[in-house]
Amino acid sequence: MWEEFKKFAVQGSVLDLAVGVIIGAAFGKIVGSLVDDVIMPPIGYLLGGVDFSNLFVSLSGKTYESLAAAKAAGAPTWNIGVFINTIINFLIVAGAVFLFIVKPANRLRAQTPPPPPGPPTTKDCPYCLSTIPIKATRCAHCTSEVK
């Protein structure tokens, strides 16, 4: 069993997947920083100084200075700003994956010609028109002799 697992683990596809997950996690952190530190501050400034990461609704009815203060008090909150940041993170990651992975892969796939067709492996029975193996001398459906 160990040998089988070792063979599976060192296959190229498993290693490629591991590398993809690691790079994806690093890319996610870069995008998170891009959204939190570069994109959202100017948007918040243009909207009157709103800090989206601190935009929340307290469900306990009490007022808190910040999301951190509400969490420290154990108050239930709707973290609207965090959700907006997460949506923007997702849109950026999805857009980047589409532009840099899906589109080039589709372009390569479209340029790759299909493999040439091999010799036929089936034929039609001239009597009942059923599909039968090319080497068959009798039709399996109507039992007619086929040349």
Among 9-13, 34-38, 63-67, the range with the most confident prediction by mean pLDDT is 63-67
Going by the DSSP 8-state scheme, the letter that residue 83 receives in this structure is H
Domain shared by 69 and 28, yes or no: yes
Residue 96's CATH number: 1.10.1200.120
Looking at the fold, whether 95 and 136 belong to one and the same domain comes out as no
> How many folded domains does the chain comprise?
2
pLDDT at 135 over 80: yes
Residues 75 and 53 in one domain: yes
Q: To the nearest whole percent, how much of the chain has pLDDT over 70?
A: 97
Q: Is residue 2 part of a domain?
A: no
Query: Same structural domain for residues 78 and 131?
Result: no
- For residue 70, the enclosing domain spans 13-112
> Distance between CA atoms of 79 and 8, rounded to whole angstroms?
43
User: Are 106 and 121 in the same domain?
Assistant: no
Quick: pLDDT tens for 41-79: 898 889 888 888 888 999 999 999 999 999 999 999 999
Asked whether the beta carbons of 53 and 122 are under 8 A apart, the reply is: no
Under DSSP, is residue 121 helix (H, G, I), strand (E, B) or coil? coil
Residues 23, 61, single domain; the answer is yes
Summarised one tens digit per residue, pLDDT across range 75-101 is 999 999 989 888 988 888 888 888 888
Question: 7 or 92: whose pLDDT is higher?
Answer: 92
| Contact partners, residue 128, CB within 8 Å, separation at least 6 | 139, 141, 142, 144
Q: Does one domain contain both 71 and 142?
A: no
pTM over 0.85: no
